[in-house]
Amino acid sequence: MDMAGLNIAQAQDPQPLEEALPKVTIARERIFEEARKEAASGDADGRKRLSLVVIGHVDAGKSTLMGRLLYECGQVEEKRRRDHERASEKAGKASFSWAWELDAGAEERERGITMDIAQSVLPTEHRIISILDAPGHKDFVPNMISGASQADCALLVVDAATGAFEKGFEGGGQTREHIGVVRSLGRLSLVVIGHVDAGKSTLMGRLLYECGQVEEKRRKEHERASEKAGKASFSWAWELDAGAEERERGITMDIAQSVLPTEHRIISILDAPGHKDFVPNMISGASQADCALLVVDAAIGAFEKGFEGGGQTREHIGVVRSLGVRNIVVAVNKMDMVDYKKSRFDEIQAALIPFLVQVGFNTSRVTFVPCAGVSGVNLTKSEEPALQSWWNGKPIVDYLDQLEPPVRDFDTPLRVPISNVFKGVSSSGVGISGRISGGIVQVGEKVRVVPGDETAIIKSIEKDDVSVQWAAAGSNVTIYLASIDPIHLSIGSVLCSPSDVVPLASSFNAQIIVFDIQLPIIGGSSVELFHHSREVPASVSKLIETVDRATGAVIKRNPRVLPKSSSAKVTISLRASSGPSARPVSIPLEPFSVNKEMGRILLRRGGETIAAGEGICPRPG
């Protein structure tokens, strides 16, 4: 993470630590590189490796405990132990002698606190454990986050002394925050996709209820209100479809967000519209997702209509894969409409798998699950005899719980593409929402808004409607800003560090894959370009070359057209939004190799997604 200019103190303690940051950052990167190499190597005895982050409030005794544990396990030689004992006593720090095994820096030893991640190795009978001893002081939370992001599990150390535990847990200490950090690193965003009327919102409303996220009173209110409106069959969907027009029309029109805690995950749900008129909104939601839940309708003719008959199933699958989603759960919904027949489930699975593979999904990352959203069958448990007669798998919630969060770009420059702008209450300032595509953002930090030269101060941050002091890459957040006029904020703008500004591009080279289209792409073709939540007019101004999708070898230079399923390098030029004399727009774009989320693009034409790709050069080369 680019730490230049970042005030890592809490809002109530604004003293910056800029002087210490450069060496801290370098040390952490070196340690993590060593840890990665350790994790990649094997062990002759077949012992499995894992990384353990040691967390807790400052002065809980983390480093002392770990130093003593390493000694007791034979990982500290007696001579080294004696050296630490004599040196710490000479420095008037005798009580810290065990901690000196991990706290090796002069300033750490002088202050008696851990400031950066300390790494060591603890071999046990069945494991080789890479220890990541994290700082407990509030000034070094960013270093703690970086350490926790490398860990498989955590050891929380608390001080049992009277008053000490309470101070760390209740009195503004770091115990709660550290627990929240390691838990949130199991957080992921899930976009729910599929053709209109597949039952996405109904399924998710029922799943949230079954998982205890919808109170019975609220459930009854939806039941009565939907029945009164003549929409009783949509009552479960009303948990997510909250807009008057959505409820009147019986379709999702915009992204609906909710939170689903499972045993091992905190899942941010992004329920996307299935109607073709709202594909741009679906793209906006998919751009914020880690994984996808595809809902298909098992009823005879309904699946075929969504998949083959001009429906949105194919387009939705192509969009999420192009935006970086690698794991997808397929909910074969409304199985009650076909009497839970295994033959129908198998038929749908056989139809979908070849297409999923074609667009780039690995079958090992695809899971099919039969269910019935309205009745709740196989959402959290299966008690339907007709299904139990052949289904030996798990319910949907278990498969969602097993989804793996991707590796986060914590140590990259801050990037927050804005998906919405709104006015908060007078005391909270102007609000924006979006997904953090890189780095860490904290309350009190100054940020730059791109495009433009305006800066703002982070006044507060909300994650899943809970106020937090910081948020890291992969989080969908609401941020309230101070010291900026709302006129300078718009959907598609990006918040970044003033010292590491995201570049702007009005013309760039891109590597694209053409979808299954009827009309080929020719040089000069007008398109709508989607980048995160922004849609801008553009043209494919030059066809540079077609390439082999598997090897990357050039097939043909300067091709006349790009047919369906081809892969090509092209130049894309953004056009003015209106009027021949208007200037072309620019978008905050980084090469895919620098930041994957900031480099992905989608191209649409005539209401159809025709290609997807990644920026590779900010200027035509």
How many whole angstroms separate alpha carbon 69 and alpha carbon 58?
A: 19
In three-state secondary structure terms, 363 is helix
Domain 415-496 maps to which CATH number in 3.40.50.2020, 2.40.30.10, 3.40.50.300, 1.10.10.10?
2.40.30.10
How many whole angstroms separate alpha carbon 259 and alpha carbon 261?
A: 6
Architecture of domain 504-617: Beta Barrel (2.40)
The yes-or-no verdict on residue 25 having pLDDT over 60 is no
> How confident is the model at residue 425, as a pLDDT?
64
- Token readout for 325 is 């989603």
> How confident is the model at residue 10, as a pLDDT?
29
Give the position of tokens 């004599």: 86
Q: What is the mean pLDDT of residues 597-611?
A: 91
How many whole angstroms separate alpha carbon 514 and alpha carbon 382?
A: 41
Give the position of tokens 């006593």: 89
What sign does the CA torsion over 579, 584, 588, 594 have? Answer: positive
Same fold, 187-401 and 415-496: no
In the DSSP assignment, the letter for residue 438 is B
The yes-or-no verdict on residue 295 having pLDDT over 70 is yes
- Sheet with 366-370, side-by-side order of all strands: 256-261, 266-271, 187-193, 291-297, 327-333, 366-370
Q: What is the mean pLDDT of residues 443-467?
A: 91
Q: How far is CA 335 from the centre of its chain?
A: 31
Q: For the chain, what are the domain ranges?
A: 21-183, 187-401, 415-496, 504-617
Average pLDDT over all residues of the chain: 85
Q: Which DSSP helix (H) or strand (E) runs through 483?
A: none
Q: Which of 16-20, 510-514, 547-551, 577-581 has the lowest mean pLDDT?
A: 16-20
> How confident is the model at residue 224, as a pLDDT?
87
- Token readout for 111 is 């202050």
Q: Which of 181-190, 325-334, 516-525 has the highest mean pLDDT?
A: 325-334
Q: Which DSSP helix (H) or strand (E) runs through 529?
A: strand 525-531
The yes-or-no verdict on residue 612 having pLDDT over 60 is yes
The yes-or-no verdict on residue 314 having pLDDT over 80 is yes
> How confident is the model at residue 560, as a pLDDT?
95
Residue type, 598: M
CB 338 within 8 A of CB 298: yes
Contacts of 113 (CB under 8 A, 6+ apart): 58, 59, 103, 135, 136, 137
Helix axes 313-322 and 342-358, enclosed angle (nearest 10)? 50
Q: What is the 3-state secondary structure (H, E, C) of 485-523?
A: CHHHCCCCCEEEECCECCCEECEEEEEEEECCCCCCEEC
Q: Domain 187-401 - what CATH class?
A: alpha beta
Give the position of tokens 């791109």: 450
Start-to-end C-alpha separation, the chain: 29
Q: Which residues pair with 130 in a beta bridge?
A: 51, 121
Q: Read off the pLDDT of residues 572-593 as tens digits, 9 standing for 90 and up.
A: 999 987 655 567 789 999 999 8
Q: Read off the pLDDT of residues 464-500 as tens digits, 9 standing for 90 and up.
A: 777 888 888 888 899 999 999 999 999 999 999 999 9
Q: What is the mean pLDDT of residues 105-124?
A: 88
Q: What is the mean pLDDT of residues 403-411?
A: 80
Q: Which of 4-13, 96-105, 214-223 has the lowest mean pLDDT?
A: 4-13
> How confident is the model at residue 72, as a pLDDT?
93
What's the half-sphere exposure (Cβ side, CA atoms, 13 Å) at 458? 32
The yes-or-no verdict on residue 255 having pLDDT over 90 is no
Q: What is the mean pLDDT of residues 236-244?
A: 78
pLDDT above 90: percentage of residues in the chain: 52
Q: Domain 21-183 - what CATH class?
A: alpha beta
- Burial label for 462, CB within 10 Å (0-12, 13-18, 19+), is middle
Backbone angles phi, psi at 7, to 5 degrees: -90, 105
Contacts of 86 (CB under 8 A, 6+ apart): none
How many residues are recorded in the chain?
621
Cα–Cα distance list, 306 to 38, 83, 528, 531 (Å): 48, 72, 24, 26
> How confident is the model at residue 582, as a pLDDT?
66
Residue 9 CB: number of other CB atoms within 10 A? 17
Backbone angles phi, psi at 321, to 5 degrees: -65, -40
Closest CA to 418 of 482, 495, 472, 486: 495
Q: Read off the pLDDT of residues 36-60 as tens digits, 9 standing for 90 and up.
A: 444 444 455 566 677 789 999 999 9
Higher model confidence: residue 292 or residue 175?
Answer: 292
Q: Read off the pLDDT of residues 77-101 as tens digits, 9 standing for 90 and up.
A: 999 999 999 999 999 999 999 999 8
Q: Which residues pair with 529 in a beta bridge?
A: 536, 603
How many whole angstroms separate alpha carbon 268 and alpha carbon 257?
A: 7
- Token readout for 307 is 């998949």
